[in-house]
């Protein structure tokens, strides 16, 4: 991704000051752990109990990066993890 953005800079493309490098499905870490446990056939973790302030829904958007033309190889953690490791029990 850094190579992509650097290439745009060298091509003198006007860039915003900040780009979020998040896939199309940003998720709380517990959702990711739960997904992986299900794929691996192991016990799902207990959901963390967090103070109310910590449970705010803060989703990141990759819209600026995508408007620049960047395309993710894997659109979500679900698609990416399938290619990192086969989930055979």
Q: Which of 1-5, 15-19, 52-56, 72-76 holds the top average pLDDT?
A: 72-76
In a domain, 23, yes or no: yes
Q: Please give the pLDDT value at position 6.
A: 62
The average pLDDT across 48-73 equals 74
Residue 52 lies in a domain: no
Q: Is 31 left (phi over 0), alpha (psi -120 to 50) or beta?
A: alpha
Structure confidence at residue 18 (pLDDT): 72
Alpha-carbon torsion angle 33, 31, 76, 69, nearest 10: -120
Q: Is the pLDDT score of 41 beyond 60?
A: yes
In this prediction, residue 67 carries a pLDDT of: 84
Amino acid 40: pLDDT = 86
Answer yes or no: is 54 within a domain: no
pTM higher than the cut 0.95: no
> Is 51 part of a structural domain of the chain?
no
Q: Is residue 6 part of a domain?
A: yes
In a domain, 14, yes or no: yes
User: Which residue range is the domain that position 21 belongs to?
Assistant: 2-45+61-84
Which tokens sit at 56?
A: 């705010």
* Number of folded domains that form the chain: 1
């Amino acid at each position: 991704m850094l190579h992509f953005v650097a290439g745009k800079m060298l091509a003198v493309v006007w860039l915003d000051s900040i780009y979020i490098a998040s896939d199309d499905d940003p998720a709380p870490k517990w959702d990711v752990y739960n997904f992986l446990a299900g794929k691996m056939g192991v016990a799902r973790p207990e959901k963390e109990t967090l103070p109310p302030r910590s449970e705010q829904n803060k989703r990141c958007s990759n819209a600026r990066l995508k408007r620049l033309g960047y395309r993710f190889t894997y659109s979500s953690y679900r698609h990416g993890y399938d290619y990192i490791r086969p989930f055979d029990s």
